[in-house]
């Protein structure tokens, strides 16, 4: 029997039937074939930063940490192929040494590249899609134990499914990324009031390469953060002094450091609906949750894409994330704000808390059936389909 596994926040714990850290693609194939032959499920895991039960299994849990590193680089095309289990932080350093960098990153860099892209992890910026949009090719071991290359030339029809797959199509072993040349960003943060922030939000988002803000419901203060190429001075600045100003290579300036453990619900809202959605959220938190909301709410933007299960599929998106310290209760609070997000056409972040099942999810994703068809083709026996995944992806 394997040891108990727990995610980053501690909200998900289970004992898998077996735990493995394969060191080669052949070993991954062997594990998938064995799971298939014995009728067990298998789940690949990254660094355990998701709080939805995507990796829970009583079958085989496989950690790809030994399949990591920069495997190949193409300077001319600005592309690199990396091991699927690479941590974003290590990758940032390795790419930097090769003169390359990811176009954007999320808030932290502790996830693996396969894990982050499998749930559509995103940063902020009107021009930037989620991290999955940076994928141009993958190699995966499917549910039948076959090794499949997917790229613009090999099975290109599968790309919109495999770039964000929840680990439901196969175990990714390699990922090829479209990159930029190394670049530096100037990160600045200010404190402001939520009314000033909302009144000027459209201009702040437009004039800065990356812009996001935290809202602290108890005080109505915000923390605005902008990132820009060195020397780029937007016209509008908050009328308060900087709290922080730092110029660094992108892999160091985009992510932040976290001390506190928290749980989180995040929904991706059509940007056009954001003002009304946020106003309703403010009312609801003020009227019902102000006393127990321990922490803050983060607002970011993501460009539209064409990835089947992406929360930004087909629409410019604004994301709203409610963060609650792990020491405080979150169930009632998250359930109540989820109602507001759904009213405004929100789609849940796959890696965070939400209550939706396939029945509610399907109408939210125009390409849902296309993904389902790819899933049934690549995993006909349901090797990756645990009960949690079946609730998400298969209608009863």
Q: Measured from the CB atom, is 91 or 233 closer to ligand FAD?
A: 91
Binder to ligand FAD among 5, 8, 213, 368 (CB under 6 A)?
Answer: 8
Q: Which positions ≥6 away from 97 have C-beta within 8 Å?
A: none
Provide the β-strand partners of residue 101. 180
Q: Does 57 bind ligand FAD (CB under 6 A)?
A: no
- Burial state string for 214-241 with b = 16 or more CB within 10 A and e = fewer than 16: bbebeeeebbbbbbbeeeeeeeeebeee
Q: Measured from the CB atom, is 112 or 228 closer to ligand FAD?
A: 112
Q: How far apart are CA 136 and CA 117, in angstroms?
A: 12
Q: Does 375 bind ligand FAD (CB under 6 A)?
A: no
Burial bucket for residue 302 (CB in 10 Å: 0-12, 13-18, 19+):
buried
Nearest to 303 by CA among 275, 268, 338, 354: 268
Supply angle C-alpha 271, 276, 281, rounded to 5: 105
Provide the β-strand partners of residue 44. 62
18-20: strand order across its sheet:
18-20, 60-63, 42-45
Q: Does 324 bind ligand FAD (CB under 6 A)?
A: no
Q: Measured from the CB atom, is 117 or 228 closer to ligand FAD?
A: 117
Burial bucket for residue 353 (CB in 10 Å: 0-12, 13-18, 19+):
buried
Binder to ligand FAD among 44, 83, 125, 143 (CB under 6 A)?
Answer: 44
Q: Does 330 bind ligand FAD (CB under 6 A)?
A: no
Q: Does 49 bind ligand FAD (CB under 6 A)?
A: yes
Q: Does 102 bind ligand FAD (CB under 6 A)?
A: no
Q: What is the DSSP letter of 7?
A: -
CB of 366 to ligand FAD, least distance (A): 21
For residues 3 and 15, the answer to whether their CB atoms sit within 8 Å is: yes
Binder to ligand FAD among 121, 134, 228, 317 (CB under 6 A)?
Answer: 121
Query: How many C-beta atoms surround the C-beta of residue 380 within 10 A?
Result: 12
Binder to ligand FAD among 41, 57, 73, 111 (CB under 6 A)?
Answer: 111
Q: Site residues for ligand FAD, window 167-206 (CB under 6 A)?
A: 167, 171-172
Q: Does 55 bind ligand FAD (CB under 6 A)?
A: yes
Return the range that interacts with ligand FAD (CB under 6 A); candidates 43-51, 181-189, 213-221, 224-232: 43-51
CB of 109 to ligand FAD, least distance (A): 9
Binding mask 80-99 for ligand FAD (x = CB under 6 A): ----x---------------
Question: How big is the site for ligand FAD, counted in residues (CB under 6 A)?
Answer: 32
Return the range that interacts with ligand FAD (CB under 6 A); candidates 96-104, 105-113, 281-289, 365-373: 105-113
Which stretches of the chain bind ligand FAD, using CB under 6 A?
A: 8, 43-50, 54-55, 64, 84, 106-108, 111-112, 114-116, 118-119, 121-122, 166-167, 171-172, 258, 349, 351
């Amino acid at each position: 029997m394997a040891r108990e596994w727990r995610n980053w926040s501690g909200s998900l714990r289970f004992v898998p039937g077996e735990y493995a850290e394969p060191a080669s693609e052949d070993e991954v194939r062997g594990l998938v074939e064995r799971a298939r032959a014995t009728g067990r499920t298998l789940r690949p895991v990254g660094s355990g930063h998701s709080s939805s039960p995507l990796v829970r299994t009583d079958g085989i849990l496989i950690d790809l940490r030994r399949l990591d590193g920069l495997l190949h680089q193409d300077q001319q095309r600005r592309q690199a192929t990396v091991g699927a289990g690479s941590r974003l932080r290590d990758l940032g350093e390795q790419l930097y040494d090769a003169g390359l960098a990811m176009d954007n990153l999320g808030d932290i860099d502790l996830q693996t590249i396969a894990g982050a892209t499998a749930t559509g992890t995103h940063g902020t910026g009107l021009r930037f899609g989620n991290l999955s949009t940076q994928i141009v090719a993958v190699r995966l071991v499917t549910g039948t134990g076959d090794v499949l290359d997917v790229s613009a030339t090999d099975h290109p029809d599968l790309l919109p499914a495999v770039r964000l797959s929840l680990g439901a199509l196969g175990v990714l072993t390699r990922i090829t990324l479209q990159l930029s040349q190394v670049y530096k960003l100037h990160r600045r943060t200010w404190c402001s009031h939520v009314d000033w922030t909302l009144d000027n939000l459209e201009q702040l988002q437009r004039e800065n390469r990356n812009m996001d803000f935290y809202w602290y419901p108890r005080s109505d203060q915000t923390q605005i953060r902008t990132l820009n190429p060195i020397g780029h001075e937007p016209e509008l600045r908050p009328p308060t002094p900087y709290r922080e100003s730092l110029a660094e290579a992108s892999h160091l300036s985009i992510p932040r450091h976290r001390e506190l453990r928290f749980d989180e619900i995040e929904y991706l809202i059509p940007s056009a609906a954001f003002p009304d959605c946020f106003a309703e959220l403010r009312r609801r938190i003020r009227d019902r949750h102000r006393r127990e909301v321990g922490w803050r709410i983060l607002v970011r933007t993501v460009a539209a894409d064409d990835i089947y299960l992406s929360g930004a599929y087909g629409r410019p998106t604004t994301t709203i994330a409610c963060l609650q310290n792990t020491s405080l209760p979150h169930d009632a609070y998250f359930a109540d704000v989820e109602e507001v997000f759904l009213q405004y056409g929100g789609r849940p972040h796959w890696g965070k808390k939400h209550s939706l099942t396939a029945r509610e999810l399907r109408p939210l994703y125009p390409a849902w059936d296309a993904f389902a068809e790819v899933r049934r083709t690549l995993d006909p026996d349901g090797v990756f389909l645990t009960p949690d995944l079946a609730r998400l992806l298969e209608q009863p």
